[in-house]
Amino acid sequence: MTTYTKYLTFNTRQEHEYINITLEVAEAIEESGVKDGLVYVGSMHITSSVYINDAEDGLLQDIETWLEKLAPARPDYKHHRTGETNGDAHLKNLIMGHSVTCPITRGRLDFGPWQQIYYAEFDGQRPKRLIIKVMGE
Amino acid sequence: MTTYTKYLTFNTRQEHEYINITLEVAEAIEESGVKDGLVYVGSMHITSSVYINDAEDGLLQDIETWLEKLAPARPDYKHHRTGETNGDAHLKNLIMGHSVTCPITRGRLDFGPWQQIYYAEFDGQRPKRLIIKVMGE
Amino acid sequence: MTTYTKYLTFNTRQEHEYINITLEVAEAIEESGVKDGLVYVGSMHITSSVYINDAEDGLLQDIETWLEKLAPARPDYKHHRTGETNGDAHLKNLIMGHSVTCPITRGRLDFGPWQQIYYAEFDGQRPKRLIIKVMGE
């Protein structure tokens, strides 16, 4: 069995950003030499997510609008008593998930034609880390 | 370490359908010969989900009603500028998740008494694929 | 490859409770002897969740309030025709997820500084089980 670990760092210009990281994950799989197994891709933070969906600009705007409705930025979260102002980013993370696991077959992401891996930042403009862990043989 | 990969195809009669796939996953585990490990079960699409919950008809109707409220079918998603009309199916996928990972112990799904694995279709009436990847020993 | 399995049982005093289980997961990893791999942590029930976020009391209250808004306790769920009254707990589980997978590096959870693993009970006051499965080498 082989394991291979890689870290990425993001420092987004915007507070919210959706970054397609499919190529970076594919690269890590290639570097690992793993031909069959699983790859875990996870945010190391609690105000950003990793999810799988379509690389389509309109949809990314729809997701942003929709998340703002389901988990709105508001001044009155109890979490803000700590001095933080990012309560909504924690809740957006909970809807979208902190990580994905993906199958690897014949050395590649075993994906359908539209699956893309995204890092979704909800509290950016500072360095945030992500971990990729490949496991297989 | 052993890995074993299997694909299922669904072509639902309805646009939305909830299909219990627990037996198919159990079968794949048996075919793999893996006695201890993990099984990944994931949609290869971005408008259908795999989730774990109860096999109870009333609950399936509750889930459908609830998802329609949280991620309603609407004409005005920006994603629809591409000619698609399934913006809501992408958002329903994001709530419900694209995949599950499940534990295998003594050659079987190590589940509690009510856990069942479902494929949830939100944009059906055409062939859609799912991947099962068993990994363990 | 090594696998290691451990079960925890919770019997919460309250119907809803959020329990930090990060130390228990770290302990299971240590007991397993696995230095590099993945750990799966999953509820064996369909009315409680495992998720990753911040160990901050205000945020836990925000999550509780927010979940009650997105998936409210109501008398009229169709699931209640079975005699159950916990329809909302099933839906809360679907938002929050039934399990997490986490990376292990050098024998420890490879986490950022604020990531904590929580067991979230939405239908407690009776014994509920959770499974930890460590896999790696």
Question: Which tens digits make up the pLDDT trace of C22-65?
Answer: 999 999 999 999 999 999 999 999 999 999 999 999 999 999 99
Which residues of chain B does A122 touch, with a Cβ-Cβ cutoff of 8 Å? none
Classified as helix, coil or strand, A61 is helix
Q: ∠C66-B97-C7 over CA atoms, to 5°? A: 85
Average pLDDT of the residues of chain A: 98
Q: Which of A56, A111, A135 minimises the CB distance to B79?
A: A56
CA distance B121 to chain C (A): 15
Q: How confident is the model at residue A62 (pLDDT cuts 50, 70, 90)?
A: very high
Q: Quote the pLDDT of residue B3.
A: 98
Domain count for chain A: 1
The distance from CA A59 to its chain's CA centroid, rounded to whole angstroms, is 16
Cβ of C115 within 8 Å of Cβ of A38? The answer is no
Interface mutation target, options B9, B90, B104, chain A, most CBs of A under 10 Å: B90
- Check: CB of residue A118 under 8 Å from CB of residue A43: no
Closest by Cα among A120, A123, A68, A69 to A98: A120
CA angle A111-A116-A119, nearest 5°?
A: 135
Q: Please identify which residue in the block is written with the tokens 């360095």.
A: A127
Of A53, A58, A135, the CB nearest to B46: A53
Of the pLDDT bands very low, low, confident and very high (cuts 50, 70, 90), residue B38 is very high
User: Residue B57: how many CB atoms within 10 A of its CB?
Assistant: 13
Q: Say if residue B13 is exposed, middle or buried (CB neighbours under 10 Å; 0-12, 13-18, 19+).
A: exposed
Average pLDDT of the residues in A13-25: 98
DSSP C67: H
What is the pLDDT at residue B51? 98
Q: Do A136 and B131 touch (CB under 8 A)?
A: no
Query: What's the pLDDT score for residue B20?
Result: 98
* Domain encompassing residue A72: 2-136
The pLDDT score that the predictor gives to residue C106 is 98
Contacts of B101 in chain C (CB under 8 A): 40, 42, 99, 101
Q: Which residue's structure tokens are 């971005």?
A: B46
> Which tokens belong to A2?
């082989």
Domain containing residue A119: CATH number: 2.60.120.460
Quote the CA–CA distance of C39 and C115 in Å, as a whole number: 15
Band of residue B55 on the pLDDT scale cut at 50, 70, 90: very high
**C40 near B103, Cβ under 8 Å?**
yes
Q: What is the pLDDT of residue B131?
A: 98
- Name the pLDDT band for C78 (thresholds 50, 70, 90): very high
φ, ψ at C83 (rounded to 5°): 100, -15
Instruction: Please answer yes or no on whether C90 and B59 come within 8 Å at the CB atom.
Output: yes
- pLDDT band at A125, cuts 50/70/90? very high
Contacts of A101 in chain C (CB under 8 A): 101
Distance, in Å, from the CA atom of A51 to the CA atom of B133, rounded to the nearest integer, reads 19
Beta strands in chain B (DSSP E): 2-10, 17-20, 37-43, 48-53, 99-105, 108-109, 116-121, 128-136
- Residue B80: the pLDDT is 98
